[in-house]
Amino acid sequence: MRGGGLLVAGTTSDAGKSVVTAGICRWLVRQGVKVAPFKGQNMSLNSFVTREGAEIGRAQAMQAQAARVEPTALMNPVLLKPGGDRSSQVVLMGKPVGEMSARGYHGGRQQTLFEPVLACLEELRATHDAVICEGAGSPAEINLRRTDIVNMGIARAARLPVVVVGDIDRGGVFAQFFGTTALLAPEDQELVAGYLVNKFRGDVTLLEPGLDMLHGLTGRRTYGVLPYAHGLGIDEEDGLRVSLRGTVRESVVAPPVGADVLRVAVCAVPLMSNFTDVDALAAEPGVIVRFVDRPEELADADLVVVPGTRGTVKALVWLRERGLADALARRAAEGRPVLGVCGGFQALGEHIEDEVESRAGSVEGLGLLPVRVRFAREKTLARPVGEALGERVEGYEIHHGVAEVLGGEPFLDGCRVGAVWGTHWHGSLESDGFRRAFLREVAAAAGRAFVPAPDTSFGALREEQLDRLGDLIEEHADTDALLRLIEDGAPEGLPFVPPGAP
């Protein structure tokens, strides 16, 4: 096999495209297939820095790990990072190229990116046995089809077969499959080979009559019914909405080693980015991680995290309006632990000069750390390695803010004052020794008899989760049929489902 491919599309956002793509990658690599993931255009505030210093979506970095290959900018050539309801930063081949409104992007800029996106896909196909592509949203967004570079546009240009994933847990999956197919142009429908049902609970035999009827209506088969899998803890594309206040992140359900648990409250700031930083905390037995947006929810927290954000000044306004800024100041005065990461670190400082991100100019920070921040037009993208609390630490940096540290104890690239820590480094808590040392410090400051588990390996847990995804595909999908699709393309003679679209 050389240059095979498949596009995993979805009936909706969050249908499961990312995890299905990762699962297919892990299944294939276990069969000895050299495979790579690809997503032509991604909209996400959760991003990652590759070894060559390129910024890509974290979902594609996770899929690369599933495929056991090093992530590169080729795997996600266009990344859109929302800065508000109507504008995004455009990242091309891992580097920011400017801010653009949705109207401006879809009105012309997107089409100019089609050739570079297609070239990246073809380069991956030339060097791998198979490339598993992930779509975005739904391929049946008929208002956007003319400028599409991530769904049927790329599928038609590269002659990729398409499998459509639907989340049955939401209900209405048969209507979603049928409607998605029926709203595609005839040339696009020719590439839609069939469907994958995701997040099914119960007896699959009860679903089979519906699948048979769907086949009769569309002439397309279902390639598998994947069961609902709890606690996957896999990197997501989109930030948590504040309406999901109280959402708990957990990867492991295990009793604490010591007498106490540790409660972690994460401030759900606007434009929250890389909230996956706290997944390594949630992987520790006895650590409970919760996203919050009210000051009273900090009262019983042993650690409060102010996470990264694409809008540091906007986050400051939000923290003050909700009373969280005052609650953080009280915690600092009482010696109760607070951790700021990237934008959260900047917010904890004394002063911000921002003519780049918010263009708000001079803004006062929360004053909990002796740090002054100036926003630079050039983005810092790095993969630093260092030491903190006597342990080796690896991380990655994605920020426009340049911090001038004026005091405190050194902490990675930031500082510590009492029980308040701040750093630009994302991913530092994935370093097992450092995470355990940090949690011991937090437990001591919080007065908790919490003991970190001595053998928790975040990397090993992530591998286990990726193997679970591979198992879902291997055990619940028709892998022989999927392999034929990847090698040979969509079957000939698939029927047209009216009415279609122009």
- CA torsion, points 17, 19, 24, 26, in degrees to nearest 10? 160
Helix (H) and strand (E) counts for the chain? 16, 28
Residue type, 438: F
Q: Identify which of 229, 135, 168 has the alpha carbon closest to the alpha carbon of residue 465.
A: 229
Q: How many residues does the chain have?
A: 502
Rounded CA gap, 443 and 263, in Å?
10
Q: Active site includes 120?
A: no
Q: Identify which of 281, 286, 309, 304 has the alpha carbon closest to the alpha carbon of residue 294.
A: 304
Q: Active site includes 128?
A: no
Q: Which residues contact 7 (CB under 8 A, 6 or more apart)?
A: 133, 134, 135, 151, 154, 155, 160, 161, 162, 163, 191
Whether 25 and 37 have beta carbons less than 8 Å apart is answered as yes
Whether 178 and 218 have beta carbons less than 8 Å apart is answered as yes
Q: Identify which of 241, 311, 237, 234 has the alpha carbon closest to the alpha carbon of residue 79.
A: 237
Q: Which of 133, 342, 400, 415 is catalytic?
A: 342
∠ CA 328-400-308 to the nearest 5 degrees?
Answer: 35
Q: Identify which of 91, 104, 96 has the alpha carbon closest to the alpha carbon of residue 41.
A: 91
As a whole number of Å, the end-to-end CA separation of the chain is 35
Q: Identify which of 52, 70, 77 has the alpha carbon closest to the alpha carbon of residue 128.
A: 70
Q: Which of 128, 399, 424, 426 is catalytic?
A: 426
Active-site residue set: 342, 426
